[in-house]
Amino acid sequence: MNLIVILGPTASGKTKLATHLAYEINGEVLSADSRQIYTGMDIGTGKDLNEYNVNGKLIPYHLINIRNAGDDYNIADYQRDFDEAIHQVGKHNATPILCGGTGMYIDAVLSGFQFTRIPIDEQLRKELLLKDKEELISIFNELPSDYTHLADTSTHKRLIRAIEIASYLQKHPFEFADLPQFKATIIGLKIDRELRRERITKRLQERLQQGLIEEVQALLDKGISAEKIIFYGLEYKLITQYLLHEFSYDEMVAKLEVAIHQFAKRQMTYFRKMERDGHEIHWIDASTPLNEQLDAIKSLLRSKEV
């Protein structure tokens, strides 16, 4: 099955490109965003569902709003849900377009590995919680790369979980899955650093005005623990801490800008790693007009049909 992948850092315009491409080639969009799966997390995750209405046509989308905020969800769950979603796209005789910035999810779709639910190792976790980040990184780097190359180590908690998973997999090796095999065309949106900064700053202000703080407060009001919301990172982490009076509004905004810029850099690092691992990514300048981006993609797709 042919699969088009559109990836890129935050604020690069992935959703708009994916939906307009879907409009032109009879496609459906499958989200590769680890937070857009949750209901009630709309503004902070940038679902931008209005962008799925292109020239009056509603573009079908999948893997958005499929879990309640606070529910546990992992990469094995995503693989299963993706498999179900892409079969639905196939039944519609549409072209699947995988779009998002969660490199691990994209990598999991393309890798052919079946991930399994990894149980929590309470004893190991207690031991790791006593160590600082440098010690954890040292432990992580000593683990076999077969079990770590897809890991998200962006936070202290996720680094501990990555070690926990890799340690488990050493004793219980990967089971290769009978996953669908894709002929994937991967499109990457690259964006100038300064332009990315401008977009991130502008978008953050817009989201705050749209009610981002109220969105986080609503999650807390539903009884979702602060710890769980903080785990979702970025806006949800820092706004929760602000609501807990850990710092002022201005400090929160400043911290958010820095955190989102750093997140975008980590995304690009992961995509470069995918290239080193053998995935060919065709990069397009995100600052070029949308019609030129679409023409470049359609030209690339035609060349692959020859």
Binding-site residues from annotation for substrate: 10-15
Bind-site residues for ATP: 8-15
Bind-site residues: 8-15
For residues 37 and 65, the answer to whether their CB atoms sit within 8 Å is: yes
Name the phi and psi angles at 217, rounded to 5: -60, -35
Taking CA 279 as the corner, what is the angle to CA 24 and CA 162, rounded to the nearest 5 degrees?
115
294: Cβ contacts below 8 Å, ≥ 6 apart: 17, 20, 21, 24
C-alpha to C-alpha distance for 72 and 77, rounded to whole angstroms: 9
- Burial grade of 55 (CB within 10 A; 0-12, 13-18, 19 or more): exposed
For residues 82 and 74, the answer to whether their CB atoms sit within 8 Å is: no
* Bridge partners (DSSP) listed for residue 62: 30
Q: Is 198 helix (H, G, I), strand (E, B) or coil?
A: helix
Choose among 198, 195, 184, 185: nearest CA to 283: 185
